[in-house]
């Protein structure tokens, strides 16, 4: 830039080649200053005119500003006004993405073992299932044949059917599900082996499915919880509390899903019963419960137990109880 100071040459600044240039006349300088003052004023006037809708586009003042302003001038980040459309898209994107949450498979990474009580062909292997095994507190039969309805629908068929339905429901939520038997062995397994299967799987929860064989008029379901046992091979001290929580949740959800009432002959109306004589519980090192879904020998309960639609509700109730326990 050039600068004219008190000691400058009389002809003012030089050209690019060093030749002195004559000074401008005072009149020319006056005209230049006047024009410099008039042009911004005229431009400002035109902008005000446009802002007031003078362009003839029929818009209001606000609309005129939006229409006549350069792209990005209104609502741009530089003036602090948010872009409504961009804001809506950002909010939508934020709402649709939830990092760290997997609502489709909430039980992913969890292991559940389902223990379908008895075995359809146990009755063909009486010598094997009558063999005694150690359950910690004493010796007990390897397994039993289970009960049946008066019309011959067996407990073993019932438990396996509910187990299959339950497995599907839990797998849909992402759980890894294992069965202690799937009608794929001639008998059993024995009660001690059933416990070991859950332990070896490091299961987060184990549920043994059964149906009772009590007298006519005895109705309803109940969940069997492990008692406190520390004797021989049995030590339930670490599983009593979590098993009780699992059992309560299953009882509540089973009642809600099936519409069935807690047992009227076991558990004093709570739907819960604690026992120390079951090897499947005594030998478990992971949270485990039994559920007696109803009384097969009662006509009204049998009508429910033999219904596929009701068995689906039973599986749904058990699955909800397990899921609630695992989500804690």
Tens digit of each residue's pLDDT (9 = 90 or more) over 6-19:
333 333 444 433 44
Catalytic residue set: 292
pTM assigned to the model: 0.70
Confidence of residue 103 (pLDDT cuts 50, 70, 90): confident
- DSSP sequence for 31-84: HHHHHHHHHHHHHHHHHHHHHTTTTSS---HHHHHHHHSPTTSSS-GGGT---H
- At residue 45, the pLDDT reads 54
Please report which helix (H) or strand (E) contains residue 226, including its range.
Answer: strand 222-226
Residue 69 has pLDDT above 70, yes or no: no
**Mean per-residue pLDDT for 140-168?**
98
**Mean per-residue pLDDT for 298-317?**
98
Burial class (CB in 10 A: 0-12, 13-18, 19+), 241: exposed
Confidence of residue 230 (pLDDT cuts 50, 70, 90): very high
- At residue 119, the pLDDT reads 97
Does residue 77 or residue 143 have the better pLDDT?
143
Tens digit of each residue's pLDDT (9 = 90 or more) over 48-59:
444 444 444 333
- At residue 249, the pLDDT reads 98
Domain range list for the chain: 111-326
**Mean per-residue pLDDT for 272-284?**
98
79 phi/psi in degrees, rounded to 5: -100, 5
**Mean per-residue pLDDT for 282-301?**
98
Closest CA to 232 of 136, 132, 133: 136
Q: Is 111-326 assigned to CATH 3.40.50.1360?
A: no
DSSP assignment letter at 182: -
Tell me what percent of the residues of the chain surpass a pLDDT of 70.
69
């Amino acid at each position: 830039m050039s600068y004219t100071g008190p000691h400058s040459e009389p002809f003012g600044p030089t050209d690019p080649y060093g030749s002195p240039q004559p000074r401008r006349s005072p009149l020319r300088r006056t005209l230049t200053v006047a024009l410099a003052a008039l042009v911004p004023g005229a431009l400002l006037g035109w902008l005000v005119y446009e802002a007031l809708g003078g362009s003839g586009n029929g818009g209001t003042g606000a609309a005129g500003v939006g229409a006549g302003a350069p792209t990005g001038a209104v609502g741009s980040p530089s003036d602090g006004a948010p872009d409504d459309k961009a804001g809506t898209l950002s909010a939508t994107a934020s709402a649709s993405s939830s990092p760290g949450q997997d609502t489709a498979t909430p039980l992913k990474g969890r292991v559940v073992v389902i223990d379908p009580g008895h075995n359809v062909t146990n009755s063909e292997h009486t010598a094997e299932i009558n063999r005694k095994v150690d359950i910690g507190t004493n010796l007990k039969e390897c397994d039993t044949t289970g009960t049946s309805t008066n019309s011959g629908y067996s407990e073993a068929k019932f438990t396996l059917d509910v187990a299959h339905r339950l497995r599907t429901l839990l797998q849909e939520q992402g759980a890894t599900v294992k069965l202690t038997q799937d009608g794929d062995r001639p008998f059993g397994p024995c009660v001690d082996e059933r416990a070991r299967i859950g332990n070896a799987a490091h299961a987060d929860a184990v549920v043994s499915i059964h149906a009772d064989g009590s007298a006519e008029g005895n109705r309803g379901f109940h969940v069997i919880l492990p008692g406190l046992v520390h004797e021989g091979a049995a030590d339930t001290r670490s599983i009593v509390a979590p098993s009780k929580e699992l059992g309560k949740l299953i009882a509540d959800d089973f009642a809600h899903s099936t519409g069935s009432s807690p047992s009227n002959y076991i558990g004093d109306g709570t739907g819960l019963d604690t026992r120390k004589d079951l090897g499947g519980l005594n030998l478990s090192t992971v949270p485990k419960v039994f559920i007696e879904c109803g009384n097969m020998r009662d006509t009204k309960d049998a009508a429910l137990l033999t219904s596929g639609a009701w068995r689906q509700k039973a599986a749904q109730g058990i699955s909800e109880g397990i899921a609630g326990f695992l989500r804690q």
